[in-house]
Amino acid sequence: MRQKLVAGNWKMNNDLEQGINLTTQIVELMNQQPSLNVLGVLGTPFIHLPQVAKLTASTTMLQVAAQNCHQEPSGAFTGEISCAMLKSVGVTYVIIGHSERREYFKESNELLSRKVDAALSEGLTPIFCCGEPLSIRESNDQMEYVCHQLTSSLFHLTDEQIGSLVVAYEPIWAIGTGKTASAAQAQEMHEGIRNHLASKFGQEIAGNIPILYGGSCKPGNASEIFAGPDVDGGLIGGASLNAEDFMAIINSL
């Protein structure tokens, strides 16, 4: 059985107090549903991580994610944060290869493969993001494009390593635009991603990798998107900044 999960990506939003308030509200709402079998992950800015990890520590169905990490274990990399540092404050997940990092910070497939290695070597679970820009969707080359991202950054992993990873499919044209992929488009891509992973790692391993959908997912459209058999949850930007909306998305899984 694949783990169902909904990960929030706060991006560069919320000061410390706002982040603590949001987390406190989410913890309260999660505690009202002790039998929930969906894992919630809070992807916060670095400054929030230690406190968010403390606030969520008693709630096993809530975990904490960083939004980025450095590929080296330590050293002279001013302004960067290593995976060991993340682990030391209670972080268990790390978002790697978000399209905003690929675009604005020029993170390449090759660099991302090193970040995945760094995360796995510290026992962190990478949430590896892939997804095509609008021009690629318009030329109907999205599957090839996304498969290339996966091959370049993940196909060097061992069976055990890939088995401890989460994939997030986020079509770039749907991120923060209010435009989502249709449920059929999402399922088609998720199935293609799973088949591509199976071509390298086998059906059984690929069948156990959670694949999340991201891009303008909200309480109003989550159930429809999550209905696809290969859609195991969501990576949520805007709607994760509101506790009730985030919980409503968790509940629609």
Residues with a known catalytic role: 98, 170
Q: Select from 39, 127, 236, 247 the one that contacts ligand PGA (CB under 6 A).
A: 236
Q: Does residue 245 bind ligand PGA (CB under 6 A)?
A: no
Q: Does residue 252 bind ligand PGA (CB under 6 A)?
A: no
Q: Which is nearer to ligand PGA, 192 or 215 (CB)?
A: 215
Q: Select from 150, 175, 211, 212 the one that contacts ligand PGA (CB under 6 A).
A: 175
Give the CA diameter of the chain: 48
Q: Does residue 220 bind ligand PGA (CB under 6 A)?
A: no
Separation of alpha carbons 4 and 253, rounded Å: 8
Separation of alpha carbons 131 and 154, rounded Å: 14
Q: Does residue 176 bind ligand PGA (CB under 6 A)?
A: yes
Separation of alpha carbons 167 and 30, rounded Å: 24
Q: Does residue 237 bind ligand PGA (CB under 6 A)?
A: yes
Q: How far is the CB of 170 from ligand PGA (least distance, A)?
A: 6
List, in order, residues 6 or more apart from 120 with CB less than 8 Å away.
Answer: 126, 157, 161, 164, 165
Reduced to 3 states, what is the DSSP secondary structure of residue 74? coil
Helix and strand numbers, DSSP H then E, in the chain: 12, 8
Q: Does residue 186 bind ligand PGA (CB under 6 A)?
A: no
Q: How far is the CB of 14 from ligand PGA (least distance, A)?
A: 14
Residues forming contacts to ligand PGA in the complex (CB under 6 A) are 9, 170, 175-176, 214-217, 235-239
